[in-house]
Amino acid sequence: MFKKILYPTKFEEFALPILKNLTCLKAGGLEEVIIVNVIETESLLIIRDSGLPLDFDRIRDSAQRKMGTYAEYLKAEGIAVKTKIVEGSLLPEILKAADEEDVSLIVAGRQKRDILGELFVGSTTDRIIRRSAVPVLVAKYHVLKEIAGETTEQYCTNMFRKILYPTDWSSSAERAKQYIPALHRVGASEIIIMHVLETEFDLGIKEKLSALKQEFQSQGFKVSVQLLKGKPYREINRIATEEDVSLIVMGSHGKGFMEVIFWGSVSQRVVEYSEKPVLVVK
Amino acid sequence: METVYLIGMVLSGLFFGWTIGSHYTGAVMGTAFGAKLIKPRNATILIAIFVLLGSTLESHNVVTTVGTGVIEAKYMTIFGAMIMMLTAALVTAANTWLKLPVSTSQLAIFSVVGAAMGMKAQVQWETTILALAITWVGTPIVGAILGFVLTKVMDISILKKFEKTKKYLLIIVCCYAAYTLGCNNTGNAVGVFFGTGAIKSKMLAGFIGGVVMAIGALTWGRPLLEKVGLHIVSLDINSAVGAQLAQGITAHIAASLGYPTSMNQAMIGGIAGAGLCRGIKAINMKTMKEIVVSWFLTPVIGAIVAFVLYSLLSPLLGVK
C-alpha cells in the first residue's frame, strides 16, 4: 500500500526529520521514495522582471545538493530513491510527478493553523488533497518541534503507534480502513474507533462500532471506541489530543465534482486544526 | 461624499506607492546584494533613505506630468482621481496573482487616460502621451547603450588599481538607483494629489509618496532581496556597476524630463549592454517579446479598468 511515496519538498527545516519518519514504512512495503523539488518559476517572475539574470544552474545545483543528503539517508536505510527537480507551478508539477511515477502516497507538510491562519485558507497541502488521486499523509511540523531532542527512531515508531480512526461508514472512510492493517505492520498497536453523532437518531451505530472493534482486534490491535455528540471535526481533534494519538486516518468524504471544491469539510478542518499528522484517503 | 472620494484617492495612491517601494528593491539594490556586499537590512534602509530623497527633491516633473500633463488640471476631479488611483491599486494587487509584465509608470499614466476617457476629458495624446511612448521605447535601448559604455569604462586598465574600492562604488551606484526610483516613480502614486489640488506643493506630494515607498521597501523589501540573493547570476563588479548605473541614469533622464519610465526595462537594457561587453547575449527573444507585450498590455489594462470603473461608478454614485 505504501510501495512508492512521492515526497515534494521545499527543503524546510523539518523536511529531513519527516523523511526519516517515513523510513519505518519499509516494514509496510515501502520500496521507493520519489523526492521532488519544484522550482516555482512564477515566484521568480518578480526577479526576472527586475532585469536581474536568474541563475537556474545555481538553483538546480543547490536543490540537488540538498536532495543528495536526503537520498543518502534513504539509501542507507535500504530504500530506493529517485530525485526530480522540475520547473513550473507547484501544484500541477506535484500532481504530474505523482501521476508519472504512479505513486501510492503523497507526503505533505503542514503547520497547525491558528486564528490568523483561518483567514488564509487554501495552502498547497489543501490543494494537493483536493486534486490528488492517491492518499495524502499530512505531517505536522510543530509536532516534530515538540519532540526535538528525541531520536528519530523513537519518533518513527511513535508516528504509527496509536491510530485514531473516525468513521461514518462512508465509502471514503471504508477505503481509509483498508490502510489500517498495513499500519499495524509498521508499528501501530492501538486504535481508537470514533464516531460523532450529529443527530439523536443514529440507530444501529453501536452494533456497527462493536463489529468494527472485533475486526480490528482480530488484526492484533488494542481497540477502544468513542461514540460522541457534537461537531465532528472538533471532537476528532479533541480526542486526538486528549488520547495523544500519533496519527489520524480518515476518509476525505466528498464525491464527484463537488469533491474538487469541497474535499470533505470534516477532513479539511481536521487537517487544518489538528495537532496530529493525518492520513487522508480519497 | 467628496471627502469619501478624497480618502479613497489618498488610500489607493498610498497603497500603490507602498507596492512600488517594495517591488523595486531587487531592481535597485539587487546587484550589490547579489554580490554579497551588503546585508538585507542595511540594503532596505539605504533604499528607504535614497528613495525619500529622490521623491522629495526631484520627483516634481513627474508629479506635474501625472497630475496635470495627461489631462488639463481643470478636468482632474477628486472622483476621477480616486478612480485613477483605485485602478492602479487594483491592477497592482491583482497582478500579485496574474504575474503579468506590467510597468507601474505605464499603469499610472493609462489609469489617468482611461478615467479621462470615461469623463470625456481631452487627453494630451499628441504631446504628453507621444513623448511618453518615445521614452518607454527608448528606455531599454538607452539602458543598453549606457550599460555597454559604462561597463567598458569600468574595464579601463587604469581603474584596476582601485579594484578594492569598486565594491563601495557599486553600493553608491545602487543608492543612486534608489534615488532615481524616488524621482521616477513617486509621481505615479501622488501626481493626482497635486493635480486635484488636494496637495498644493509638488515637494510635499513627493515627500508623502517617498515616505510610503520607503515604508514599502522597509516592510516587504527584505524577503524579495533575499530571494534575489539566492537566485541570480552573480555579475562581475564592473558589469554590475555598468548595468546598475545605466539603469539609474536612464530613469533619471526620463524623470528630469517629466516622463516616468520603467525601472525594470532600464535594468534589462543595462544588463544586456553589460552582457554584450562580455560577449554574452544577456537578452533573449522571450524577454524582448515581454517588453513589447508590456508596452501594449499595461496601457490597455490600465485604460480599460479605469474607463469601466468610472463609467460604472459615476452613474451609481450620481457623479456628473
Q: pLDDT tens across B21-54, in order?
A: 998 999 999 999 988 999 999 999 999 999 999 9
Contact yes or no for B30 and A50 at CB 8 A = yes
Question: What contacts B30, CB < 8 A, 6 or more positions away?
Answer: A47, A50, A52, B225, B228, B232
Res A258 pLDDT > 70: no
pTM value?
0.80
Cβ–Cβ gap B234/A44 under 8 Å: no
Per residue in B305-319, pLDDT (tens digit) is 999 999 999 999 988
Which residues in chain A (56-85) have CB-CB distances under 8 A to chain B? 58-59, 62
Q: Do A53 and B99 touch (CB under 8 A)?
A: no
Cβ separation B231–A49 shorter than 8 A: no
| Average pLDDT of the residues in B274-303 | 85
Q: State the nearest Cα–Cα gap between B262 and chain A, in angstroms.
A: 10
Across A117-153, b (16+ Cβ under 10 Å) vs e yields eeeeeebbbbbbbbbbebbbbbbbbebbeeeeeeebe
In whole angstroms, give the CA distance from residue A119 to residue A134. Answer: 28
Q: In chain B, which among 258-317 make CB contacts under 8 A with chain A? A: 264-271, 275, 282
- Preferred mutation among A11, A43, A50 to probe B, highest tally of B CBs within 10 A: A50
Maximum mean pLDDT: which of A137-141, A158-162, A215-219: A215-219
* Separation of alpha carbons A150 and A148, rounded Å: 6
Question: What's the pLDDT score for residue A142?
Answer: 54
Residue A244, classed as helix, strand or coil, is coil
Q: Please check whether residue A43 touches B, CB under 8 A.
A: yes
CB contact under 8 A, A46 and B224: yes
Cell matching residue A31: 520500496
Size of interface A-B (CB pairs under 8 A): 63
pLDDT at A155: 45
**Res B303 pLDDT > 90:** yes
Give Cα separations from A154 to A22, A110, A265 (angstroms). Answer: 12, 21, 33
Q: How many CA atoms lie within 13 A of A259 on its CB side?
A: 16
How much of chain B exceeds pLDDT 70, in percent? 99
Select the highest-mean-pLDDT range: A142-156, A268-282, B103-117: B103-117
Chain B CB within 8 Å of residue A47 CB:
yes
Residue B283's pLDDT band (cuts 50, 70, 90): low
Residue-wise pLDDT for B153-191, tens only, equals: 999 877 777 888 889 999 999 999 999 999 999 999 999
Whether B234 and chain A come into contact, CB under 8 Å, resolves to yes
Answer whether residue B301 shows pLDDT above 60: yes
Q: Tell me how crowded residue B156 is: count the other CB atoms within 10 A of its CB.
A: 9
Chain B residues closer than 8 Å to A62 by CB: 230
Give the DSSP letter string of B76-106: --HHHHHHHHHHHHHHHHHHHHH-----HHH
Whether A55 has its CB under 8 Å from any CB of chain B: the answer is yes
Q: What is the mean pLDDT of residues A100-114?
A: 80
Q: Which of A95-104, A180-189, B264-273 has the lowest mean pLDDT?
A: A180-189
CB-nearest partner of B270 from A42, A51, A54: A51
- Report the gap between the CA of B163 and the closest CA in chain A (Å): 23
Residue in A with minimal Cα distance to B98:
A42
Instruction: List the single residue in A45, A46, A50 with the smallest CB-CB distance to B267.
Output: A50
The DSSP line for A31-88 is -EEEEEEEEEGGGGHHHHHTTPPB-HHHHHHHHHHHHHHHHHHHHHTT-EEEEEEEEE
Position A115 confidence tier, pLDDT thresholds 50, 70, 90: very low
pLDDT digits (tens, 9 = 90+) for B58-92: 999 999 999 999 998 889 999 999 999 999 999 98
Q: Taking CB atoms and an 8 Å limit, are A58 and B265 in contact across chains? A: no
> What is the C-alpha to C-alpha distance for residues B39 and B32, in angstroms, rounded to an integer?
9
Residues from chain A that touch B30, judged by Cβ atoms under 8 A, are 47, 50, 52
Contact: B235, A53; criterion CB under 8 Å: yes
Which residues are A4's β-sheet partners? A32
Residues of chain B with C-beta less than 8 angstroms from the C-beta of A43? 227
The closest CB to that of B267, out of A46, A51, A55, belongs to: A51
A177: buried, middle or exposed (CB in 10 Å: 19+, 13-18, 0-12)? buried
CA-nearest residue to B282 within chain A is: A53
The CB-side HSE value for B194 (13 A sphere, CA atoms) comes to 27
CB of B233 less than 8 A from some CB of A: yes
Which residues have CB under 8 Å from A238's CB, separation 6+? none
Q: Given A44, A49, A54, which is nearest B264 (Cβ)?
A: A49
B251 touches chain A (CB under 8 A): no
Q: Determine whether the interchain pair A46/B26 forms a contact, defined as Cβ–Cβ distance below 8 Å.
A: yes
> For the residues B273-288, what does the mean pLDDT come to?
82
Most confidently predicted of A135-144, B251-260, B270-279: B251-260
CB–CB contact A47 B26 (8 Å): yes
List the single residue in A47, A55, A62 with the smallest CB-CB distance to B227: A47
- For the ranges A142-146, B12-16, B114-118, the lowest mean pLDDT is seen at A142-146
On whether any CB of chain A is under 8 Å from the CB of B23, the answer is yes
Q: Verify whether the Cβ–Cβ distance B247 to A51 is below 8 Å.
A: yes
Does the pLDDT of residue A122 top 60, yes or no? no
| Cβ neighbours around B272 below 10 Å, total | 28
Closest CA to A109 of A88, A90, A137: A137
Q: What is the mean pLDDT of residues A121-137?
A: 82
DSSP-derived 3-state class of residue A162: strand
d(CA B116, CA B1) in angstroms, rounded, equals 20
Task: Note the pLDDT of residue B282.
Answer: 65
A47/B232 CB distance under 8 A: yes
Q: What's the confidence (pLDDT) of residue A116?
A: 46
